[in-house]
Chains A and B, each alone.
Chain A
Amino acid sequence: MAKNITLYEALASRGITRRGFMKFCAATASMMALPPGAAAAIAETLGKTLRPSVIWLSFQECTGCTESLTRADSPSVEQLIFDFISLDYHHTLQAAAGHAAEEAREHAMTMGGHLVLVDGSIPTLAGGLHSTIAGITNLQMLQETVENASAVVSIGTCAAFGGLPAAKPNPTQAKSVQELMDEGLIARKPLINVPGCPPIPSVIAGVLAHYLTFGVPELDKLGRPKVFFGDSIHDRCYRRPFYDQGKFAKTFDDEGARKGWCLFELGCKGPTTFNACATTKWNQGTSFPIEAGHGCIGCSEPSFWDAGSFYKALSQPTEPLDLAAGAVVAGAAIGVGASIANRAKKNAAKSQHETATLKDLEK
């Protein structure tokens, strides 16, 4: 696809009519959590926007973020947006390899004004030697690619906050893009964090669409777009009424679990996790983890891997703003009770704990 065509022309070449384009813009506005009235502005802007050059860099990561975006099984809005951008470098997806691949990146870089997408954290120990591509460290590659970029998007929790590679004891001294900018190790550019392990595909596409139409979206204090990360999972959870009524599942197979009661006492991190899972959902809007009976693990928050067990209740319910004072006290009592019960469980487990050996793991 040529670079000097607009999104409307790109869609028209696929047989999408003007009405189809208007519908696409209405769906894009919905995906970006913008008011439907914004669809007209999106249509006008995307009708004029030329294909942007995008360089996608993958560092210390598991490829789950790329999988999240590319594994959709139907021609969705997000795929159309993703198809529209000129993805000039993505070493997992591109056909070119070796010197040809690196030449594509260097060519896109010299033009300037490109958008850099990063997944994976960046090792800094020993000059970054723990991860290299094409003979240079991830840090060097990021430094030269960001230099003339218009903006950077950190895709996934590893790029946004360090993620699993930065989990204790962080053997490679892995850092996020934000940390590298703060330390002056790479040029400071407008940065959008899109955390999640992996991030929701329509959120990735929504951020790209927002950047193409209205520029960098409004961000929260962690650099996340407020349109997607402005509400906690808990506040938008369909099980929230059960929390307010004090109805909690105590185990994964008790009556409360079968009745769909709140999973707070089973360790759900929904109250402290900001993401769009409860509204956007996964697998083409089918459901999200809580709907499948498992609590939120808080994967879009910094250091989620080091925040204790996924199955340990938060110390007390948070922000019960809509509750009467009595209910707040009752909720706090439940939280404290859960905390004490968990401590007792932990102590019991500790007393029975035996150190696992390599032999045990091979059984």
Chain B
Amino acid sequence: MSGLADIAIVTADALAGATPAIDALLTELIQHVERLKKTGESTSIDLRALLSQPEIEHLKATLGQGEIQASLQAFGPSSINETRVPGVWFVEHRNAEYQTIAELLMVTLCPDILFTPVENLSESRSLLAGLITNNEGE
């Protein structure tokens, strides 16, 4: 036996497909996109607190893939993808064992985690200096 699918009972897959919760979330997204456009205010939604895993998969398929697919390696891998709806991002954080630790839907121009942390800039000068082959003038 290799997993839940091998147990002869129907699990959460029974509920896969469009559900009222997904429709409600899509309606909510319209409000968030409008607010982003008007005020620049970003929003994050914790999908695991609202939807079952099959619903999340269905929502992911519904929103599709947009122009940007970013990956991050920090405290395990993360994927940060803009959906085909501009300004709506699907963010999945995994730990070092590839277990999902957070699944977020973000309505933003760019997720904060993609920006270079200002704290890291202090390292940049010394790193760059170290890359210069003739750095005697330093």
Chain A interface (Cβ within 8 Å of chain B)?
16-24, 26-27, 29-31, 33, 35-37, 39, 73-77, 238, 241, 257-260, 279, 284-287, 291-293
Q: Which chain B positions have C-beta within 8 A of A77?
A: 95, 101
Q: List 6 A-B contacts (CB under 8 A).
A: A22-B112, A23-B93, A24-B75, A35-B46, A76-B95, A260-B10
Given A74-B99, A75-B95, A238-B11, 19 more contacts at CB 8 Å?
A16-B75, A19-B113, A21-B75, A24-B75, A26-B102, A29-B46, A30-B46, A36-B45, A39-B44, A75-B96, A75-B97, A76-B95, A76-B99, A258-B8, A260-B10, A260-B14, A279-B48, A287-B11, A291-B4
Verify if B25 is at the interface (C-beta below 8 Å from A): no
Contacts A22-B112, A76-B95; is A259 near B7 (CB within 8 Å)?
A: no
Contacts A30-B48, A35-B44, A287-B4; is A22 near B99 (CB within 8 Å)?
A: no
Nearest CB of B to A221, in Å:
23
Nearest CB of A to B72, in Å:
6
Total A-B residue pairs with C-beta atoms closer than 8 Å? 102
Report the bound CA distance from A279 to B106 in whole Å.
21
Q: Which chain B positions have C-beta within 8 A of A260?
A: 9-11, 14
B contacts with A: majority SS:
mixed
Report the bound CA distance from A23 to B102 in whole Å.
9
Report the bound CA distance from A22 to B48 in whole Å.
18
**In the complex, chain B residues 52-100 whose Cβ is within 8 Å of any chain A Cβ:** 52, 72, 74-76, 78, 93, 95-97, 99-100
Verify if B117 is at the interface (C-beta below 8 Å from A): yes
Report the bound CA distance from A23 to B49 in whole Å.
17
Contacts A35-B44, A287-B4; is A18 near B11 (CB within 8 Å)?
A: no
Report the bound CA distance from A36 to B45 in whole Å.
6
Cβ A18 vs Cβ B117 within 8 A = yes
Our pick among B15, B49, B75, B93 for the contact of A238 (Cβ within 8 Å) is B15
Q: Which chain B positions have C-beta within 8 A of A74?
A: 95-97, 99
Cβ B10 vs Cβ A30 within 8 A = no
Verify if B109 is at the interface (C-beta below 8 Å from A): no
**Chain A proximity mask over B1-45: 1 for CB below 8 Å, otherwise 0:** 000100111111011000000000000000000000000000111
